[in-house]
């Protein structure tokens, strides 16, 4: 099957493996992290057609031909995406294990809602957990990114990109 990741097509034989396993094992994209493995922590978040999903819950074969964006595909020519830059600027991590998931969820949030308030940010990111407790800095980073980003800057805006349903991030 063809797996399209970060605008590149890969021929893979996933069998019944999850998307995260194929990303890490076959494509060597180690930025996507596995935490709980059961859809509860958000560490494995990637964007599917611009929408956050838990890649530990999805079989790779389910996303054949669709656009997958991982953290490796976010920066461009070595320049960090504004959300990434804001996370660095605001020290929005400690161990950073949760960071790829938080960043991608935030990118999707700002694609849908360019000016979210604190409550909207918290709600949207509620499926992403940070065991280091960096939540306040993450909130500041997302707020700051929303101020610096021009409309349309998120590279995966989708008209059908709606709020992440964090409790059920599955392919639909």
**CA of residue 124 relative to chain centroid, distance:** 12
Residue with tokens 């997302």: 142
Rounded to 10°, the helix 99-112/135-148 angle is 40
> Which of the ranges 3-11, 77-85, 88-96, 104-112 carries the binding residues for ligand FES, by CB under 6 A?
88-96
Q: Which of 70, 105, 106, 134 binds ligand FES (CB under 6 A)?
A: 134
How many CB atoms lie under 10 A from the CB of residue 2?
10
**CA of residue 87 relative to chain centroid, distance:** 14
CB of 44 or CB of 63, closer to ligand FES: 44
CB of 45 or CB of 146, closer to ligand FES: 45
Query: Least separation, in Å, of the C-beta of 102 and ligand FES?
Result: 7
CA-CA-CA-CA torsion for 52, 56, 59, 65, nearest 10 degrees?
A: 30
What residues from 111 to 130 belong to the interface with ligand FES (CB under 6 A)? 130
What residues from 33 to 72 belong to the interface with ligand FES (CB under 6 A)? 34-37, 39-44, 54, 56
> In angstroms, rounded to a whole number, what is the distance separating the alpha carbons of residues 45 and 83?
15
Using CB under 6 A, list all residues that contact ligand FES. Answer: 34-37, 39-44, 54, 56, 93-98, 130-132, 134
């Amino acid at each position: 099957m063809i797996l399209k990741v970060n605008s590149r097509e890969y021929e893979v034989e996933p069998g019944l493996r999850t998307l995260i396993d194929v990303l890490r094992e076959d494509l060597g994209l180690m930025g996507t992290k596995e935490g709980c493995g059961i859809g509860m922590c958000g560490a494995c978040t990637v964007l599917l057609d611009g929408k956050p999903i838990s890649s530990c819950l999805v079989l790779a074969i389910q996303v054949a031909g669709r656009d997958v964006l991982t953290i490796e595909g976010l920066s461009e020519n070595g320049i960090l995406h504004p959300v990434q830059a804001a996370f660095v600027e605001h020290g929005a991590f400690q161990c950073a294990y949760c960071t790829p998931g938080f960043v991608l969820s935030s990118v999707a949030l700002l694609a849908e809602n360019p000016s979210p308030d604190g409550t909207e940010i918290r709600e949207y990111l509620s499926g992403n957990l940070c065991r280091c407790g960096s939540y306040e800095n993450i909130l500041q980073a997302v707020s700051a990114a929303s101020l610096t980003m021009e409309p349309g800057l998120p590279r995966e805006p989708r008209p059908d990109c709606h709020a992440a349903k964090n409790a059920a991030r599955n392919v639909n």
